[in-house]
Amino acid sequence: MHIFKTIEELQTYLKPYRAEKTIGFVPTMGALHEGHLSLIHTSRQENYMTVCSIYVNPTQFDNKNDFDKYPRIVDEDIELLRSVGCDVLFAPSDAEMYPQLVESRISFGKLENVLEGRFRQSHFNGVGIVVSKLFHIIKPDKAYFGQKDLQQCLIVERLVRDFSFDVKIIRSATVREEDGLAMSSRNRRLSAIERQFAPKIYEALLLAKDMLLNHKATVLEAQEAGIFYLNSFGVFKIDYFEVVDTINLEPFENLTQQKEIAICVAVFLGNVRLIDNLLIELSA
Ligand code: AMP
């Protein structure tokens, strides 16, 4: 695997391949797990070459503590990437990515104000900026994003559409631990006790899904059941537990429509903020 820290070196390496070979790109913030590796696997199947980036992007964090505590274990990451046959790692410094303060802003309209946007100030502006920069630097044919960050998928798809990026966005299913917990780099920060409670997040999603599909519950009842379940453990602080339309992530109520909806959740478990979601296909 080739490892590059500067844009110039990376671009010099990629240039000869661009005309004739396809490049798949997997952007990450590192502390890699099977969820990230599933994106690499898919990219490897679909492209001649796979580039992974590891960059903990400061502009998408509104919480300094979350940024400072974000796990950084690049040496372990490199071993994992090698083991799955990733071709190129781009691991730039802050100075390389942001030689000047970026004062431009990217607004995503209503989409940036729902769910995560309500709780993480300017988060999607930061995501939009870093993803734009990485797309321009790498110029991939396809880029791979995890369904676990559903809102991020929609934001990136909108970015590509609105600014005519020449890249195809591919969504990948959420990879979970055996007990159902969605894999996340932040899981490493959970204490042993917190880790025991963490699968309850997925259980709450399953409970709400079951109520919607099998018990004719209303959206409100299903949301309340999920929230009640999580609160019963006395360890979660819930930011949101919401049933939404997967097109715009607006609250969804009319269960008689044939539609894809998502149940989305964000909680604090101790100091660690975790998100997850479940997609549901409604049939009329
Ligand atoms: P991150 O390093 O958290 O920024 O994630 C990098 C990419 O991996 C994003 O597209 C995430 O959605 C994706 N990802 C993170 N966790 C998972 C997971 N458990 N399953 C599938 N994809 C994931």
The CB-side HSE value for 57 (13 A sphere, CA atoms) comes to 22
Mean pLDDT, rounded, for 246-257: 86
Is the pLDDT assigned to residue 283 strictly greater than 80?
no
Task: Please identify which of the residues 2, 33, 36, 136 carries the catalytic annotation.
Answer: 36
40 φ, ψ (degrees, to nearest 5): -65, -45
Q: What is the DSSP string of 133-151?
A: HHHHHH--SEEEEEGGGHH
Residue 151, pLDDT score:
98
Q: 214 CA to middle of ligand 1, Å?
A: 30
Cβ of 174 less than 6 Å from ligand 1? yes
CA distance 221 to 255: 12
Is the pLDDT assigned to residue 254 strictly greater than 80?
no
**What are 52-96's pLDDT values in tens digits?**
999 999 999 999 999 999 999 999 999 999 999 999 999 999 999
**What are 230-250's pLDDT values in tens digits?**
999 999 999 999 999 999 999
The CB-side HSE value for 25 (13 A sphere, CA atoms) comes to 24
Whether 69 contacts 189, CB under 8 Å: yes
Is the pLDDT assigned to residue 162 strictly greater than 80?
yes
Cβ of 117 less than 6 Å from ligand 1? no
Nearest CA among 155, 156, 152 for reference residue 266: 152
CA distance 215 to 208: 10
Q: What is the DSSP letter of 109?
A: G
CA distance 34 to 83: 12
Q: Which residue has the tokens 């929609």?
A: 154
**What are 13-50's pLDDT values in tens digits?**
999 999 899 999 999 999 999 999 999 999 999 999 99
CA distance 19 to 21: 6
Helix, strand, coil proportions of the chain in percent (round to 5)? 45, 20, 35
- Atom of ligand 1 lying closest to residue 186 CA: 3
Residue 282, pLDDT score:
83
Is the pLDDT assigned to residue 259 strictly greater than 90?
no
Residue 284, pLDDT score:
61
Is the pLDDT assigned to residue 192 strictly greater than 70?
yes
Please say if 36 is a catalytic residue: yes
